[in-house]
Structures are given as structure tokens and as C-alpha cells.
């Protein structure tokens, strides 16, 4: 009946659309294209970078932490991810933690303790003061020691922050610091259409 069809379209379909869309692509599924034959795309000799711009405004601070946690949870080379505290809680610089596995064919496999601090900043660069404070807070996390501090942001880093981190890492002091700006996250997520769909980033 027409009335039943309208009920499905207006009530039932919106309720299941999101979950169906989420399960549409797996981590290794090809991204669909409009061309009927890939030969047509090759013949057109396309140039330029692959579009990876993501709509970070779709996330709030907790959503960004959840995205990074989900990314780490099934990423090869990482194990035991933890997300133990609430977003914006006084966590001493720790939003997430994970163990990074570094294999060596001639020696023992090394495992490093990694702390990830997430900053969902859309229009503000991470300043050097925040980097220094985060590094100092790592002294509160011991047994085992923190080997790597990752600052993940939906924004970018100030010039002074980049220079400070480069000098710090060159000195060899622990923890080493990695920068994960939006450009790096977009490049990583370009290979994960399932996460882009799940978090509605495009």
C-alpha cells in the first residue's frame, strides 16, 4: 500500500540507513567510482593529488578520541590500546595509550609505551607551551616509562612548536614526540573508507 511505503520511507529507512552505510565498506574494500571502465580513467590521464580532505567539524572532542582509539585498535604494529578516562578529564596529558611493536629480524622484538594526546582544534594551531606541558606531564606516567608521546590534532602545529619538537627529538631525550596533524590523519584515513563512513567525515 502507498501508506506503508511512505511509512517505510519516512520512519523505517532513516533509522537503519546509518548502520547500513557504516557496514557498506570494509577496511580492504575498493572505493566505488562513477566510471564504468577504469580504462576510461587511465585514458583521461588524471593529474593532481587524491582528494583526502575530511570534514573534521562532524566530530566533537570525544568523537575525535574515539576515532583515534578505533584506528589504533586494529592497526598492525599496535596492541593493547586503552581509553580509560573521560574526555576533558584531568588526565595528566594522557587521552589514550597503546603499545607499539617494533620487530627486528635479528634481535628481540621491542615494545614501546605510547601515550596519545588528542586535540580537536579546528582553527587553532597547537602552541609550543602545550607541547612542553604535555612532555612534562609524562613524568607522572611511570612503570613502565613512556617512550613516545603523540600529539594528534585536527589542526596543525605552530612554527615554534615544530622547531621545539625537532630540537627535543634530536637531543635523544625521552619521551620522543610525534606530530599527527590533520594532513597526516587524512592520508592515513584515505586507506580506511570504513572509518570515514563510520564517523561521517566525508
The CA distance from 92 to 102, in Å, is 26
Comparing 23 with 59, the larger pLDDT belongs to 59
Q: What is the CATH number of the domain that holds 111?
A: 3.40.1350.10
pLDDT in tens, 65-88: 999 999 999 899 999 999 876 665
The CA distance from 78 to 69, in Å, is 11
The CA distance from 108 to 101, in Å, is 11
Residues spanned by the domain of 44: 1-202
The CA distance from 65 to 146, in Å, is 19
Contact (Cβ atoms closer than 8 angstroms) between residue 135 and residue 149: yes
Total number of domains in the chain: 1
pLDDT band at 117 (very low <50, low <70, confident <90, very high): very high
Listed residue (60, 114, 117) closest to 85, CA to CA: 117
Query: Would the pLDDT of 90 be above 60?
Result: no
CA atoms within 13 A on the CB side of 9: 6
The CA distance from 194 to 29, in Å, is 8
The CA distance from 108 to 102, in Å, is 9
Amino acid at each position: 500500500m502507498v501508506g506503508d511505503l511512505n511509512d517505510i520511507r519516512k520512519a523505517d529507512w532513516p533509522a537503519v540507513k546509518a548502520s547500513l552505510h557504516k557496514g557498506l565498506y570494509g577496511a580492504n574494500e575498493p572505493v566505488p567510482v562513477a566510471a564504468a571502465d577504469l580504462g576510461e580513467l587511465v585514458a583521461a590521464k588524471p593529474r593532481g593529488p587524491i582528494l583526502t580532505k575530511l570534514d573534521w567539524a562532524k566530530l566533537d572532542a570525544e568523537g575525535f578520541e574515539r576515532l583515534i582509539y578505533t584506528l589504533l585498535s586494529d592497526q598492525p604494529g599496535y596492541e593493547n590500546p586503552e581509553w580509560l578516562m573521560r574526555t576533558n578529564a584531568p588526565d595528566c596529558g594522557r587521552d589514550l595509550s597503546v603499545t607499539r611493536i617494533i620487530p627486528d629480524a635479528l634481535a628481540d622484538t621491542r615494545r614501546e609505551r605510547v601515550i596519545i594526546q588528542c586535540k580537536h582544534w579546528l582553527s587553532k594551531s597547537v602552541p609550543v607551551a602545550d607541547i612542553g606541558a604535555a612532555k612534562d606531564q609524562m613524568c607522572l606516567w611511570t612503570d613502565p616509562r613512556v617512550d613516545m608521546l603523540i600529539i594528534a590534532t585536527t589542526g596543525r602545529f605552530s612554527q615554534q612548536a615544530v622547531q621545539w619538537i625537532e630540537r627535543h627529538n634530536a637531543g635523544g631525550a625521552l619521551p620522543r614526540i610525534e606530530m599527527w596533524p590533520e594532513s597526516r590523519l587524512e592520508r592515513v584515513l584515505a586507506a580506511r573508507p570504513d572509518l570515514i563512513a563510520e564517523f561521517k567525515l566525508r
